[in-house]
């Protein structure tokens, strides 16, 4: 490894250790899915109410899938005998990896993973530790267990348990490798039945890769497997077992170097540095090199490219193109298996490899570009496998797995309506969530100074502390220090060095802020003493002045004042951005579906020009969040039936957008149900210009906008984020009066991000 690579690795290690230790240690926690806020809630969730589902499950064990979380929980189990490429670290040291798997299950497939580290290397003890866990889980993901024990363990558990048992190191790696190989062969003009493959490594993953590639058409006679002692050839006795013997080759080659001469494909599942540049030089034209040793590959891509620029190279690392990443497989494979209640994961279900390969050949969505710093990825030698952040994986792979399970007869709950299932899968992962997470991570990388104007309020103080702990920057509490510190003590909060407290009445900048405000407001009816009083006593005015003068980057307020009072205060100090109107946008997240609503906070009765401007502003923001905007201009009427004054304003706004030749989809005037139900829209109005359900709803007035978002928050079972203020020249956000601490932190982080 080069010095540069070592430095890069060292920096990554330090960052990883910090990430695992900061805040709440580790990567996982458990959260309740039912309310536990009242005595009645408790009586239903626990005694005496919980007896009812217990008795029902006793009557019919299958009802556990209806009354408990069993059907969405996977146990991630290991004994730590083969952790990554680091060897036998033991059960305890494997826990960070197992927690990581649990996080990936949740993030990519909305599956609750529970990690279990079993402290034994005895095969029988391990099997007996796992075999009785069937009532607790919907599936078992075996991980980081050394060969050959892993083969015995998996086979026995499959025989003993009636839920899916899947050793990801074997089958997960094999499925993603197969997907990449399918595309690499297509790009280099090869056929599976003609290629010569050399596999370095004879563990679980290597053997599974060989077996799956042979299912794809690779001939056994064209496959050579090597281990630490050289080629596994017919007649070899040293270091052999029944699993290696099954793949012994009739060849005169005795070393990896011998085997690679003229080879089309190298699959490395071994150790760092096993493949040399000289070996790569001897391979066939356009060699395919999958160097998958973790955390460091058999050869670095730059070293292989130096001698064979025509090579297609994949590794197990995220900092190089073509990452052979199991996260493309196991979350979605289990998703499909759980959803049909499969009794096992069989060979037919590994058809997921074809679904993954096909996805890489399609146009890459904008969400993926955002995850990769705006770089647009496209199918080719450096993109043969979909990126883990491709939101389409959640539908493509589980559907392929579910169909295979049904076709092979292992599905206990077949899916009748596959289109409805696709919609259900899409709803599981809200595309806004990863976009917001990316925004928050970018804010952490560029911390800002954010004013919490209502600094004496308990929620504001707690939010400031959470903002600081999250690494978003420096919170500035505006208020009297004695009251704030007393409130901190009352709340049991420590005094944090990273939180600043500023008293507007005694600030050294009060005179400057007063002069600037008077210059702006002297022709708006305010006297100098009025401006002086506002700066001294109105914390919104003071906070906004800090932002304008560069003493802070952004501000958050709204807890103790009416929204429009706070907005009036802010706009006395902060101007709108050039050629923009100030509007409010609310994010509605319901069962995984995200809709953006506007204007929800500023313009009471917008005219056509304001409606068109609102559509443009929100579309711009939604695109920045990684989604392609589809705008519906709402009205109680559909396309002119009837056409009163307010509906005419909406139609005029559409005509203005026509004249502006905007780059996003838009349609209207229409009802909300028509806008959101694309099948209904196509059936009744086949001339629609939208290509899918609207994700931006432009409301005809503030009254219906505010009422709709409020009802959704209280009765819709969804999450409401915002309203977010758009169109100001400086960053400020106003929280609703009932905002939670989390709401404040999110809005403050979004305000900080707007300044990056």
Residues annotated catalytic, as ranges? 46, 101
Task: Please report how many Cα atoms fall inside a 13 Å half-sphere around the Cα of residue 431, on the Cβ side.
Answer: 24
Place of tokens 């540069």: 4
User: Tokens in use for 571?
Assistant: 């706009």
The closest of 541, 535, 548 to 569, measured between CA atoms, is 541
Secondary element (H or E) of residue 671 = none
CB atoms within 10 A of CB 261: 14
* Helix axes 95-109 and 393-407, enclosed angle (nearest 10): 90
C-alpha 683/C-alpha 470 separation (Å) is 48
Strand segments, DSSP code E, in 248-348 are 265-268, 288-291, 312-315
C-alpha 735/C-alpha 559 separation (Å) is 6
C-alpha 304/C-alpha 719 separation (Å) is 49
Note whether 444 and 438 are within 8 A (CB): no
Note whether 472 and 748 are within 8 A (CB): yes
With helix as H, strand as E and coil as C, how does 157-178 read?
Answer: HHHHCCCCEEEHHHHHHHHHHH
Note whether 291 and 311 are within 8 A (CB): no
β-bridge partners, 658? none
C-alpha 41/C-alpha 38 separation (Å) is 5
C-alpha 254/C-alpha 555 separation (Å) is 69
Strand segments, DSSP code E, in 25-88 are 73-78
User: Tokens in use for 702?
Assistant: 């503030």
C-alpha 63/C-alpha 65 separation (Å) is 5
β-bridge partners, 595? 588
Helices H / strands E in the chain, number of each: 31, 21
Q: Residue 582: CB partners within 8 Å, gap ≥ 6?
A: 567, 571, 576, 602, 725, 726, 727, 728
Rg over alpha carbons for the chain, rounded to the nearest Å, is 30
The closest of 569, 566, 597 to 583, measured between CA atoms, is 597
Q: In what order do the strands lie in the sheet with 665-670?
A: 665-670, 630-634, 696-698, 593-598, 583-590, 719-726
* Burial letters 426-458, b for 16+ CB under 10 A, else e: bebbbbbebbbebbbeebeeebbbbbbbbbbbe
C-alpha 214/C-alpha 174 separation (Å) is 11
Q: Reduced to 3 states, what is the DSSP secondary structure of residue 443?
A: helix
**Peptide bond between residue 723 and the one before it cis (omega within 30 degrees of 0):** yes
With helix as H, strand as E and coil as C, how does 323-382 read?
Answer: ECCHHHCHHHHHHHHHHCCECCCCHHHHHHHHHHHHHHCCCCCHHHHHHCCCCCCCCECC
Task: State the DSSP string of 568-613.
Answer: HHHHTTSPBPTT---EEEEEEEETTEEEEEE-SSS-SS--HHHHHH
The closest of 714, 434, 712 to 600, measured between CA atoms, is 712
């Amino acid at each position: 490894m080069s010095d540069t690579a070592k430095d890069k690795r060292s920096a990554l290690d330090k960052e990883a250790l910090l990430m695992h230790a900061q805040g709440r240690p580790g990567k996982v926690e458990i959260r309740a899915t039912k309310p536990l806020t009242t005595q009645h809630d408790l009586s239903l969730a626990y005694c005496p109410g919980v007896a009812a589902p217990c008795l029902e499950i006793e009557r019919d064990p299958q009802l556990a899938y209806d009354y408990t979380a069993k059907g969405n929980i996977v146990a991630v189990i290991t004994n730590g005998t083969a952790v990554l490429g680091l060897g036998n670290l033991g059960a305890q040291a494997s826990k960070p990896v197992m927690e990581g798997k649990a996080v990936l299950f949740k993030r990519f497939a909305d599956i609750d993973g529970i990690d279990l580290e079993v402290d034994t290397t005895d095969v029988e003890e391990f099997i007996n530790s796992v075999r009785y866990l069937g009532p607790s889980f919907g599936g078992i993901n075996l991980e980081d267990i050394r060969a050959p024990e892993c083969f015995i363990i998996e086979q026995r558990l499959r025989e003993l348990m009636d839920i899916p048992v899947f050793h990801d190191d074997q089958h997960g790696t094999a499925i993603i490798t197969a997907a990449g190989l399918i595309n690499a062969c297509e790009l280099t003009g090869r056929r599976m039945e003609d290629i010569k493959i050399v596999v370095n490594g004879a563990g679980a993953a290597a053997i599974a890769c060989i077996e799956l590639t042979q299912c794809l058409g690779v001939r056994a006679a064209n496959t050579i497997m090597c281990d630490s002692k050289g080629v596994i050839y017919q007649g070899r006795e040293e270091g052999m077992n029944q699993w290696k013997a099954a793949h012994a080759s009739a060849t005169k080659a005795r070393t990896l170097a011998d085997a690679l001469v003229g080879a089309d494909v190298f699959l490395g599942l071994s150790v760092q540095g096993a493949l040399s540049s000289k070996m790569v030089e001897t391979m066939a034209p356009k060699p395919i090199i999958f160097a998958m040793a973790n955390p460091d590959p058999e050869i670095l891509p730059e070293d292989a490219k130096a001698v064979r620029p025509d090579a297609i190279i994949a590794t197990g690392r995220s900092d190089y193109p073509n990452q052979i990443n199991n996260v493309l497989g196991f979350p979605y494979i289990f998703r499909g298996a759980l959803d049909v209640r499969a009794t096992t994961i069989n060979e037919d279900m590994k058809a997921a490899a074809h679904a993954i390969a096909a996805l890489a050949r399609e146009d890459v969505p904008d969400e993926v570009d955002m995850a990769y710093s705006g770089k647009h990825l496209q199918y080719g030698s450096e993109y043969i496998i979909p990126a883990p952040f491709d939101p389409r994986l959640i539908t493509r792979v589980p559907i392929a797995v579910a169909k295979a399970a049904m076709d092979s007869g292992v599905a206990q709950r077949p899916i009748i309506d596959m289109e409805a299932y696709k919609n259900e899968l899409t709803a599981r992962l809200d595309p806004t969530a990863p976009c917001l997470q990316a925004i928050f991570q970018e804010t952490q990388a560029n911390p800002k100074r954010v004013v919490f104007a209502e600094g004496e309020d308990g929620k504001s103080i707690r939010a400031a502390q959470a903002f600081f702990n999250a690494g978003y920057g420096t919170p500035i509490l505006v208020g009297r220090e004695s009251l704030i510190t007393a409130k901190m003590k009352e709340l049991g909060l420590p005094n944090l060095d990273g939180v600043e407290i500023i008293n507007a009445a005694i600030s050294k900048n009060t005179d400057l802020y007063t002069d600037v405000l008077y210059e702006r407001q002297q022709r708006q009816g305010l006297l100098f003493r009025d401006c002086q009083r506002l700066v001294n006593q109105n914390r919104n005015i003071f906070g906004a002045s800090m932002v304008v003068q560069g003493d802070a980057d952004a501000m958050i307020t709204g807890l103790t004042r009416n929204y429009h009072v706070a907005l009036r205060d802010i706009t006395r100090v902060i101007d709108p951005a050039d050629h923009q109107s100030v509007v409010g946008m609310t994010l509605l997240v319901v069962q995984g579906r995200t809709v953006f609503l506007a204007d929800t906070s500023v313009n009471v009765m917008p005219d056509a020009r304001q409606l068109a401007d609102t559509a443009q502003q929100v579309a711009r923001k939604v695109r920045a969040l990684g989604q392609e905007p589809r705008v519906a201009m709402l009205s109680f009427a559909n396309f002119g039936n009837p056409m009163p004054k307010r509906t005419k304003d909406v139609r005029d706004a559409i005509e203005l957008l026509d004249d502006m030749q905007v780059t996003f989809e838009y349609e209207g005037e229409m009802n909300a149900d028509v806008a959101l139900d694309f099948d209904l829209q196509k059936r009744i109005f086949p001339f629609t210009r939208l290509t899918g359900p609207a994700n931006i709803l432009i409301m005809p007035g503030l009254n219906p906008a505010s009422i709709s978002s409020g009802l959704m928050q209280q009765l819709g079972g969804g999450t409401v984020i915002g309203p977010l203020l758009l169109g100001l020249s400086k960053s400020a956000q106003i929280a609703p009066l009932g905002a939670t601490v989390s709401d404040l932190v999110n809005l403050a982080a979004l305000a900080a991000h707007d300044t990056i």
